[in-house]
Structure 1
Amino acid sequence: MTEKKAKKAKLAAPPRPGVYSRGSDTVDAILKAALHVLIEEGASAFTLRRIASECGMKVGNVSRHFPRKEMLVQVLLEELLSPSEGEVRRRIVNSGMPADEALALVIGGSLDEIQTKKMTHLFTELWAMANHNAFVAERVELVYRYVHKLIASFVADLNPALSPDEVEIVSVYISASIEGSTMLAGYGKPWSGMMPKIKGIAVKFLVDLAKTITSEEIRELSSATPAKASSPRRPVRAR
């Protein structure tokens, strides 16, 4: 098994964290407090002590269910991903919508979520944590692997001439285009007011890209080198 495949296998089946019973009042209170602290106060405040204070518990009560804060991150991501995954699949399967409409739904829905305080703050704080915490980085990567896989299924339907590697390249590009909007046009960001128009452009051109890009174009674009900048022309003096 190659190193890349071994990493994927490791990420594909994360162990269930902590000793907790989802649905109990105590665990629900801890998760609610953890999400509130991460969104409202940021990664620097995301400690078991602060979370315990937020939900009015002792640190020992929190750590009994979640011995490490990283375990809370994993469960929070699972809680957020599962409902959206189920909703997307239901809307697609039940309606029998074509792949281009399904891809447009995923792109548009993702950009709608970016406009909420919850999603903008949550993921920017998780990115900050992931820079210094391998466990959090792996959990965040799992979320993006799910998104890439979902997008790739539509790209493959829309453009069957592409190889699996090319489908993945296109799907990662689409995902990166969506996520990049968070920093510029997410909730409270400088260009948030433009998000409706950004969404319209993204849906149209990213779906068109998935439909029309060819293997030859991907190869050419991958191997192309930036053109040398031409020397600025000196202004011509009037005589």
Structure 2
Amino acid sequence: MPEGPMRDLLFPPSNGGYAKGQETREAILTAALRVLVDEGYAAMTMRRVAKECGIRFGNLTYHYRSHEDLVNALFEAVIGAYEAEFALIVNDPDTAPADRLRRYCRFVLTDIQTRETTHIFPEIWALANHSPFVARLMTEMYRRARAPILEILRDMRPDLSEQGHEDLALFVSATMEGMTMFLGHGKLHADRLSALMDIQVEAFLSAIARA
């Protein structure tokens, strides 16, 4: 199973009901993630996930009535796992803002080398070109991923406008995500991550200081 944050999916709390139902929902989402990573989005049908989970199709639809419900729940669990990691960095009162940004960037750049991240996110980018549903999920996912950068930037550069903070956060996020195709799991230049990470992080700090 996953090596990065996706190894600890943040499951939504149960809204009452039996603990067994919560366990089943968690098992379904874990199975859906496995199929998504190993076989791709097109393979992640309701029937395929039910088979992977070892439950009846009707049992799966009891918990997730549609494919969109299942995908929404899975993405929420994935995004929540990342947000939990980001919160540990952003909310560290003993670390200077620039060092918090370094930690955030190093975390993200290291994570792109996991098999899960390399397999899932580029597929989402491609699907978003043709699926409004996936495009909405992607937009929300990256909005939430940029939120910690914005918090750090507000501390680093309180003199900038909010639009200035937004632009810098977008620049930092987009630049790191673009490295996936070159430095991700199994990619041609994956062994250069350490050197390029140092270059990129210091380039971000320089750009922020000059903005």
Q: 2:133 — aligned with what?
A: 135
Distance in 1 (alpha carbons) for counterparts of 2:92 and 2:154: 20
Distance in 2 (alpha carbons) for counterparts of 1:134 and 1:57: 30
Distance in 2 (alpha carbons) for counterparts of 1:106 and 1:37: 28
Shift of 1:175: 0.3
How many residues are paired up?
A: 196
Contact 1:20 1:27 in 2 (8 A): no
Q: 2:150 — aligned with what?
A: 152
* Matches for 1:96-135 after TM superposition, within 5 Å: 96-135=94-133
Q: 1:59 — aligned with what?
A: 57
1:146-192 deviation per Cα after TM superposition (whole angstroms, max 9, x unaligned):
12222122222222332211211111011000100111211112211
CA RMSD of aligned residues (A): 2.2
Q: 2:85 — aligned with what?
A: 87
Distance in 2 (alpha carbons) for counterparts of 1:72 and 1:207: 39
CA 1:59–1:20 in structure 2 vs 1: closer, same or farther (change >3 Å)? farther
Q: 3-state DSSP class of the match of 1:24?
A: helix
Q: 1:184 — aligned with what?
A: 182
Shift of 1:117: 0.5
Decide which of 199, 202, 222 is 2:200's aligned counterpart: 202
Q: 3-state DSSP class of the match of 2:135?
A: helix
Q: 3-state DSSP class of the match of 1:152?
A: helix
1:73-120 deviation per Cα after TM superposition (whole angstroms, max 9, x unaligned):
222222222233233323443442111011111111001110101111
Normalising to structure 1: TM-score of the pair? 0.74
AA at the equivalent of 1:126:
I
Q: 2:67 — aligned with what?
A: 69
Distance in 2 (alpha carbons) for counterparts of 1:191 and 1:36: 26
1:41-98 deviation per Cα after TM superposition (whole angstroms, max 9, x unaligned):
0112111111111112222211221122222222222222223323332344344211
Q: 2:8 — aligned with what?
A: none
Decide which of 167, 173, 180 is 1:175's aligned counterpart: 173
Once the two structures are overlaid, the 10-residue window that deviates more, 153-162 or 137-146, is 153-162
Contact 1:152 1:167 in 2 (8 A): yes
Gaps of 5+ in 2: 1-11
Contact 2:129 2:135 in 1 (8 A): yes
Normalising to structure 2: TM-score of the pair? 0.84
Once the two structures are overlaid, the 10-residue window that deviates more, 38-47 or 75-84, is 75-84
Contact 1:43 1:125 in 2 (8 A): yes
Q: 1:45 — aligned with what?
A: 43
AA at the equivalent of 1:119:
T
Distance in 2 (alpha carbons) for counterparts of 1:103 and 1:193: 23
Shift of 1:20: 9.8
Distance in 1 (alpha carbons) for counterparts of 2:161 and 2:42: 43
